[in-house]
Each structure stands twice: as C-alpha cells, then as structure tokens.
Chain A
Amino acid sequence: MQIFTCPFCGARNETEFHFLAEAGKTRPDTAGEISDAEWARYLYAQRNDKGHVREVWMHKTCGELFILERDSVTMRVLGTTPLRKEAI
C-alpha cells in the first residue's frame, strides 16, 4: 500500500486517493474550431510513460486535486503540487 502526499492534508494511505488523468493536457477552447484529431488527442492520447510520470489525482476525503509526480517503476513518490494556481 502506497503513501501519497496530499498537498493540504499531508501523507495518507493510497486508499484515500483517486486517479483522474495524466497531467499536462489543457482543455481546448471549445468555443472555437477544434479538429477531430486535436479533440481525439485531448480525449484519448495517453503517454503511459515508464518511469517518471505526472498525474492528476484527487484526495477523495478533502477533495483536493493535485499533480502527483511518481516513478511508475519503483513506485517512489517524487512530489505533489496542488493543481490550482494560487494555492496557499
């Protein structure tokens, strides 16, 4: 069982967390024209990197969304930062 660090709550057991997405994607502005390919990339393209990965997780109990950087081979947690920009 892994220990993840919620940027607000600190270290907690992995059962309190939920994976949401790979980090790094930005929602295209759907008010404008978006090609099928661009939208499909946003929806479906996954990097699925081996080693250092950046992922968006939610700490379910406090609702915090954050970027979890970890090593997908060694399972080592490399860092956590809140997703929101102006986090305290």
Chain B
Amino acid sequence: MRDDRHKWAAFAPDDTAIDLGGAQLSPIRLARQTLISGPNVHAQTSLPVIEWPDIIDQDVYALSLRRDRVLVVNGPEIETGWTPGTSQAISDASDAYATFDLSGPGAFQLLQRGAELSLKTRSKSVMRALFGMHVMLYRRASERFRLHVPTAQQDGLMHHIKAAAQHLR
C-alpha cells in the first residue's frame, strides 16, 4: 500500500474561524447532538423543528432530518437506546457531526458551488448533499448558514469550501 502521509495535509481541527473573503467559516462547539427516530417524533418534540429555509436563532432546537427522525441540538442529556413508552430510538450523536457556521455576503453563493440550492424551494428536511457529502444545512440568519458534517469528512468539506472560495470574487 502506498504511503500517502505527505499527500494529505495533517488533519488538525481547531476552533479558529477562517476568513474566505466574502464569507467566514467558524467552527461551532455544541453542547450535545441527539439523534431521535420514531414514528411520531416530529409531533412529540416541543422544540422548534427546523426545515429549509427556516431561520433559527435560538440555541436549543430540533432539525427535521427525515419523515421519522430529528436531530436535537443542545438538548438535555437523555437515556439512549430504544424507549418503548414514546416509541423512540435515541442515540448520542454529539461526536458524529462537526459543526460550522458559514456567514457573510458570499456564503450562499459559496454553497451554490456545492449543491443546487434555492431559497425559494422549501424542503421538509435539512439533509443535503453538499460537494457530494451528506450534511445538515440550515439558516441561523439571512446570511448565516449552519452545517453539520460527518466528523471524519469535515476536512474534505473544508477543502471544497476553501477551493470554491477561490472563485468568490
């Protein structure tokens, strides 16, 4: 097998924001991410359930992922596993997704380089393929987008975002 240790720059995630010229990419530390699935999970949560292109500026909320799944952001610590009473499957996914905010006047155009996105087309789910990776994408403000990307793929997504930012002029 070929030794590629020098081909790939060292993966060293940190909390420093990156200025992309027209947009800024800021790593976000969340207290907790909880994956909850169940036949009635949308109706069961008292939190705001975020779809595309909703704007959520609160700190505790739920993301609509699927017909029967939400991701609760910064929610309370709850017992994981199958909960027969509520018919919910619960997993702690805090470390499964890295989170970033992409903000600035060029943020949306940058995202348009990775996905066919429209603010006019509503979607019940915040799940997206962005630069070929499956991410959660939603809005924190009109020019501020939040991304949850599978942890091991954050470096790949950063690469694509930085490369796309070269064209933001």
Task: Provide the bound-state CA to CA distance between A10 and B66, in Å.
Answer: 12
The answer to whether the Cβ of A79 comes within 8 Å of any Cβ in the partner chain is no
* A61, B121: Cβ atoms closer than 8 Å: no
A-B pair number, CB within 8 angstroms: 43
* A9, B134: Cβ atoms closer than 8 Å: no
The answer to whether the Cβ of B36 comes within 8 Å of any Cβ in the partner chain is no
Cβ < 8 Å to A, chain B residues 56-79: 65-67
Chain B residues within 8 Å of A87, by CB: 67
Interface size class of chain A, counting residues whose CB lies under 8 Å from the partner chain? 10 to 19
* A61, B116: Cβ atoms closer than 8 Å: no
Task: Provide the bound-state CA to CA distance between A87 and B124, in Å.
Answer: 14
Task: Provide the bound-state CA to CA distance between A1 and B115, in Å.
Answer: 12
Cβ contact of B121, chosen from A10, A16, A82, cutoff 8 A: A10
Q: A9-B124, A10-B123, A62-B125 are in contact. List 20 more A-B contacts (CB 8 A).
A: A8-B67, A8-B124, A9-B125, A11-B123, A12-B116, A13-B115, A13-B116, A13-B129, A15-B132, A16-B129, A60-B129, A60-B134, A61-B125, A61-B129, A61-B134, A62-B67, A63-B66, A64-B67, A82-B67, A87-B67
